[in-house]
């Protein structure tokens, strides 16, 4: 007798779509087929899609955000929101503060997550102070311990690294097998434009977009790819917002470089015009890079369809809007410079792609699975344990009802922010059941079973399982 049997659903992986039952024992998928027998618990998935649980590999939770600013979501609310959006694994960032070691930062971050997660979690490291100690000793030891990905910034004065520092991080990644993610924007260009805007008195939220133009992102993308070419390492270019940066990725691939491209729902659904909201409401849409224009939206959809983008992530970075520790902090009400960068979106990431991508015929179901789960698992050393429905894989599964129609309302969501940037968007298709480690943890919009059963998951080096090398540029 199995622990759980999912009957009659249409299973999709990154390569196949077929009707079958799924048998689960001890948290693992043990059989796939028809007439598999009996189980202690059965889920009827007739007329629904049985998909790998989503993996959101770009999420910010409980991250230090500057003096007087508090991120809206902790691990409890952030992972709960992720779960209701069809996700079973999220990958937040552990931020190294200047003068702090990576191991110390990770210990503190684990303490915040322990016992508070509705989904499984695994951490990326943000390297802001690449000292000789960090690069020579700490980082290699942490990669051995399963922390196999890290992020560097080319913007934000307190986070950005010089080109020489980035080269040092990339070279350490080459020696250890870690994978580096890069936030690509030219900080010097941005600071120049900020100064010009301030001199002209142009400090409303819309100025956030005009001080971070496409050229600043495109130039930094080219520079990051050039630095990776010098050291000869793969690279992840995160949250790409426009065609010009996409073209840099494509040109690098044509030169034989291994590059993973990522985009996010804000670049598919929002534009810079949203930052023009009355009474400072444009602050709700301040994120970096900023949303662009309709042509850039179309370009990002094209990148989703053609395989320029391997990953589709939320970049969930939530702050409350009407809050003195959030978007409308005392200084943020006076100038765009002090509005916290980031928007909520972990719960709506997959419904938006399912509705706007799959249901509208832009992508097929295997492509949805690749973008939502499989490619994330491959890129970051979780595959084949996660990201697919296969014998031996973790039983992390989301069951989707393609007929369910919903309008996104923040009142119906589960994060701790006080708004959704996607308010009012009509969605067709929504996850109705989520199974984590073989346990039904959400059904029909309600939590069930063990409330906070998520675990921390260490990872292998991506190359150990073929990793990103098996899908870059192919979308599968």
Q: Which residue has the higher pLDDT, 352 or 463?
A: 352
pLDDT of 44 above 90: yes
Q: Which of 43, 40, 33 is nearest to 397 (CA)?
A: 43
**Residue 401 β-bridge partners:** 430
pLDDT at 438: 96
* pLDDT tens digits along 322-347: 999 999 999 999 999 999 999 999 99
Cα(453)–Cα(83) distance, integer angstroms: 11
**233: helix, coil or strand?**
coil
Residue 283 has pLDDT above 60, yes or no: yes
Estimate the crossing angle of helix 214-231 against helix 187-199, to 10 degrees.
Answer: 160
Is residue 181 within a helix (H) or strand (E), and if so which, with residue range? strand 179-183
First to last CA, the chain: 35
% the chain with pLDDT above 90? 93
Per residue in 253-270, pLDDT (tens digit) is: 999 999 999 999 999 999
Q: On the CB side of 248, how many CA atoms lie within 13 Å of its CA? A: 24
Task: Give the chain's count of helices (H) and strands (E).
Answer: 14, 18
CA distance 47 to 61: 35
The mean pLDDT of 170-181, rounded to a whole number, is 97
Of the candidates 350, 334, 357, 438, which has an alpha carbon nearest to the alpha carbon of residue 394?
438
Residue pair 53/88 in contact (Cβ under 8 Å)? The answer is yes
Q: Identify the CA nearest to 173 among candidates 230, 217, 121.
A: 230
Q: Taking a C-beta distance cutoff of 8 angstroms, is the pair 137, 196 a contact? A: no
pLDDT in tens, 293-303: 999 999 999 99
Cβ distance 128 to 165 under 8 Å?
no
Tell me the pLDDT band of 474, cut-offs 50, 70 and 90. very low
This model's pTM is above 0.95: yes
- Could you give the CA distance from residue 33 to residue 82 in angstroms, rounded to a whole number? 29
**451 confidence band (pLDDT: 50, 70, 90):** low
Dump pLDDT digits (tens) for 141-156.
Answer: 999 999 999 999 999 9
Count Cβ atoms below 10 Å from residue 46 Cβ, excluding itself. Answer: 9
**pLDDT tens-digit map of 343-362:** 999 999 999 999 999 999 99
Q: Evaluate whether 61 touches 24 at the Cβ level (below 8 Å).
A: no
Q: Which of 24, 8, 40 is nearest to 390 (CA)?
A: 24
**CA distance to 10, 257, 278, 314, 398, per residue, from 348 (Å):** 22, 32, 24, 8, 14
pLDDT for the residue numbered 467: 46
Span 404-416, mean pLDDT? 98
Q: What are 390-399's pLDDT values in tens digits?
A: 999 999 999 9
Residues contacting residue 346 through CB under 8 Å, at least 6 positions apart: 56, 59, 78, 81, 82, 85, 87, 90, 314, 316, 415
**pLDDT at residue 278, as a whole number:** 77
The set of residues, in sequence order, having a beta carbon less than 8 Å from that of 303 and lying 6+ positions away, is 240, 243, 246, 261, 263, 309
Smallest CA-to-CA distance from 259 within 240, 239, 233 is with: 233
Alpha carbon distance 121, 461 (integer Å):
17
| Residue 461 pLDDT | 86
pLDDT tens across 48-95, in order? 999 999 999 999 999 999 889 999 999 999 999 999 999 999 999 999
pLDDT score, position 472: 44
Give the pLDDT confidence score for residue 191 in this predicted structure. 98
Q: How confident is the model at residue 450 (pLDDT cuts 50, 70, 90)?
A: low
Round the average pLDDT of the chain to a whole number and report it: 95
């Amino acid at each position: 007798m199995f622990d759980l049997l999912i009957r009659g659903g249409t299973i999709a992986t990154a390569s196949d779509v077929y009707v079958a039952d799924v048998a689960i024992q001890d948290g693992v998928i043990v059989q796939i087929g028809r007439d598999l027998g009996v189980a202690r618990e059965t889920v009827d998935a007739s007329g629904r899609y049985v998909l790998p649980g989503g993996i959101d590999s770009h999420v910010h939770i409980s991250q230090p955000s500057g003096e007087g600013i508090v991120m809206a979501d902790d691990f409890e609310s952030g992972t709960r929101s992720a779960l209701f959006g069809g996700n079973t694994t999220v990958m937040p960032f552990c931020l190294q503060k200047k003068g702090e070691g990576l191991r110390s930062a990770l210990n503190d971050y684990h303490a915040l997550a322990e016992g508070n997660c509705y989904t499984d979690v695994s951490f990326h490291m943000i390297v802001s102070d690449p000292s000789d100690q960090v690069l020579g000793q700490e980082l290699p030891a942490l990669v051995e311990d399963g922390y196999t990905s890290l992020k560097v910034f080319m913007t934000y004065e307190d986070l950005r690294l010089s080109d020489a520092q980035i080269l040092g991080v990339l070279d350490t990644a080459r020696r250890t097998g870690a994978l580096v993610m890069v936030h690509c924007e030219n900080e010097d260009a941005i600071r120049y434009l900020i100064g010009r805007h301030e001199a002209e008195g142009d400090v409303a939220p819309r100025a956030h977009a005009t001080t971070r133009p496409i050229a600043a992102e495109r130039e930094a993308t080219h520079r990051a790819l050039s630095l990776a070419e010098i050291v000869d390492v793969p690279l992840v270019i995160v949250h790409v917002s426009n065609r010009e940066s996409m073209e840099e990725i494509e040109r690098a691939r044509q030169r034989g470089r291994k590059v993973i491209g990522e985009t996010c729902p804000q670049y598919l659904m929002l534009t810079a015009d949203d930052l023009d909201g009355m009474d400072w409401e444009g602050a709700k849409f301040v994120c970096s890079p900023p949303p662009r224009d309709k042509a850039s939206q179309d370009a990002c959809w094209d990148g989703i369809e053609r395989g320029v983008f391997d990953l589709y992530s939320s970049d969930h970075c939530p702050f409350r809007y009407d809050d003195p520790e959030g978007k409308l902090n005392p200084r943020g009400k006076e100038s765009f410079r002090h509005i916290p960068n980031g928007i909520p979106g972990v719960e709506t990431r997959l419904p938006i792609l399912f509705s706007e991508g799959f249901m509208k015929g832009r992508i097929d179901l295997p492509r949805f699975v690749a973008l939502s789960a499989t490619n994330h698992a491959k890129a970051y050393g979780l595959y084949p344990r996660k990201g697919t429905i296969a014998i031996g894989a973790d039983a992390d599964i989301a069951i989707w009802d393609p007929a369910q129609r919903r309008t996104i309302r923040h009142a119906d969501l589960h994060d701790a922010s006080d708004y959704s940037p996607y308010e009012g968007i009509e969605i067709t298709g929504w996850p109705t059941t989520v199974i984590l480690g073989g346990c039904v943890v959400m059904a029909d919009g309600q939590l069930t079973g063990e409330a906070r059963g998520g675990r921390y998951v260490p990872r292998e080096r991506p190359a150990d399982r073929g990793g990103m090398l098996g899908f870059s540029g192919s979308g599968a």
